[in-house]
Amino acid sequence: MPHTRTPVITGWFTGEGDGFRLLGTRCSSCASVFFPREDVHCRNPHCAGGTLEETPLSRTGRVWSYTDTRYRPPSPYVSDTELPWEPYALIAVELAAERIVVLGQAVPGITVADLAVGMEVEAVEGVLHGVGETETTATWNWRPTRATS
């Protein structure tokens, strides 16, 4: 039976393996970049507005801040309340080229003890949750590259 991989939010990322990229939008007038993507109007208050064009974001960035989750978030977060809550690390990553910070979970197995501000991380495919062995809800995770600052 084929495996179905459904993005948690359509249009926020694309590709697989080394081709995995988060997708943002860039204003053609002021060059501001947005993630989550903006498809209606430029959010820069100093811009009269331009066409918003989809743009792949940098694959790597540096840890700007991080924390861990010790409790199950309230709705609309989707999780199976029948299963025990598994804490995870949450990382804010600065993408220097885009001049933005993108939030996301660390890959499974990475804890706050493994992280440091300034550490290089990369965006990789992740699984928000799975249904059996044939269906997963895909997301992105941040994984340390082990490159030195």
pLDDT digits (tens, 9 = 90+) for 9-46: 889 999 988 999 999 999 999 999 999 999 999 999 99
Q: Where are the domains of the chain?
A: 5-144
Q: Is the pLDDT of residue 80 over 90?
A: no
Q: Could you tell me which residue, 78 or 145, shows the higher pLDDT?
A: 145
pLDDT band at 6 (very low <50, low <70, confident <90, very high): confident
pLDDT digits (tens, 9 = 90+) for 38-62: 999 999 999 998 999 999 999 999 9
Give me the half-sphere count of Cα atoms (radius 13 Å) on the Cβ side of residue 128.
14
In sequence order, the β-bridge partners of residue 27 are 52
Torsion of CA 134, 137, 138, 139, to 10 degrees: -160
pLDDT given at position 129: 67
The residues near 102 (Cβ < 8 Å, ≥ 6 apart) are: 22, 35, 57, 61, 92, 93, 95, 123
In sequence order, the β-bridge partners of residue 141 are 105, 124
Averaged pLDDT for residues 107-122? 96
Quick one: three-class SS letters along 74-138?
CCCCCCCCCCCCCCCEEEEEEECCCCEEEEEEECCCCCHHHCCCCCEEEEEEEEEEEECCCEEEE
